[in-house]
Structure 1
Amino acid sequence: MDEIDRRILNALQVDSSQTNSELALAVHVSAPTCLRRVKHLTESGVIQRQVAIVAPEKVGPSLTAIVEISLDIQAAERMAEFEAHVAADDAVLQCYRVAPGPDFVLIVQVEDMPAYHALAHRLFATQTNVRNVKAYFSTFRSKFETRIAV
């Protein structure tokens, strides 16, 4: 990855809706060069996907919870099993294995507290390997960024 690739990635992280021509102009390369590089960055997995970021408060009531999960058994296959279980739920936006402390931290987005309780029941209470669940509920989001420095 060279400086041109870094400029492309930075520009796309700010606004991925740019046309190829607009992007090429912004990063000071020709349109064919830009297209070829974006294609390579995508095919190599550097660019995982391009999405629209939705403001949760604009689409209805929402509650963000940061949830710590500790498992009874931390064998690799049991950790992978739990990850697959929570990844299948649309309310789980992010899942991290962490250390030290709990085994996982999840970021979940639900409509309200009853929806969180339903999520907790289906994802945690029904799992025999879940030992402890600790949830924190966001009262205000002062920063949200998806950009990674490259």
Structure 2
Amino acid sequence: MKSIELDSTDLQLLDALQADASASNQALAEQLRISPPTCLRRVKRLREAGLIERQVALLNPERLAQALGHGLTALVEVTLDRQDAEQLEAFEARVVADESVQQCYRVSPGPDFVLVVGAADMPAYLALTQRLFNSDAHVRNVKTFFSVKRSKFEPRLSVPLTPPAG
């Protein structure tokens, strides 16, 4: 990925796309008061620079659970017995490859990792613990917190609408 210089139009475009990535190029151009070809070029440049990682649909876990009849979200703290680079990277590679792991953070101080995982039900969560934690001799401690209510979920990053002076 190459470095990119951002102007206020780029920043406004990034902010608008975070609010609604399904907006048409025409609608984005109108919102930002730029021409549609300019808007398209800018979005392409932002994608190529790696600032727009991907576009996804955000599902509502509560409504999905109602429709499917189940659903668990857990926040899991994991501590390994050793914190050398090889152990950390091996564990991290295994958990990020598992589709039940929605988010993975390497943290400090405290546990080595904090994971956000989704499971259909408690038996599915048990299978996940067997797969990711119990089968790994280097996992020393696992502490799980089950979500009883999601009060806020916002993947949007704070983007200043004008570039910093300098």
- What TM-score range do you get, normalising by the shorter chain? over 0.9
Which residues of 2 match residues 13-52 of structure 1 at below 5 A? 13-52=18-57
Query: Which of 96, 105, 115 is residue 87 of structure 1 equivalent to?
Result: 96
Please give the per-residue CA displacement for 1:72-92, whole angstroms capped at 9, x wherever unaligned.
Answer: 111112111101100111100
Residue deviations 1:116-149 (CA, integer Å, cap 9, x gap): 1110011000001100000000000010101001
2:72 counterpart of 1:66 = no
- Is residue 119 of structure 2 the alignment partner of residue 110 of structure 1? yes
Which sections of structure 1, spanning at least 5 residues, go unmatched? none
State how far apart, in whole Å, the 1-side matches of 2:130 and 2:60 are.
26
- Structure 2 CA distance, aligned partners of 1:88 and 1:149? 28
Number of residues of Structure 1 aligned to a counterpart in Structure 2: 150
Provide the secondary structure at the position in 2 that maps to 1:106: strand
Check if 1:121 corresponds to 2:130: yes
- Displaced runs of 4+ in structure 1, greater than 3 A? none
Corresponding residue number in structure 2 for 1:97: 106
Name stretches of at least 5 consecutive residues in structure 2 with no aligned partner.
1-5, 160-166
SS at match of 1:34: helix
Which AA in structure 1 matches 2:139? V
TM-score by length of 1: 0.97
The partner residue of 1:6 within 11, 32, 47 is 11
Matched to 1:62, the amino acid is G
For the residues of structure 2 that align with 1:45 and 1:130, how far apart are their CA atoms?
A: 34
> Does residue 1:132 correspond to 2:141, yes or no?
yes
Name the Cα RMSD after superposition.
0.8
Matched to 1:141, the amino acid is: R
Q: Could you say what secondary structure the match of 2:23 adopts?
A: coil
Instruction: Kindly state the Cα deviation for residue 57 of structure 1 after the two structures are TM-superposed.
Output: 2.5
Alignment of 1:136-147 (within 5 A): 136-147=145-156
Q: Which moved more, 1:122-131 or 1:55-64?
A: 55-64
Tell me the SS of whatever aligns to 2:148.
Answer: coil
Q: Percent identity?
A: 56
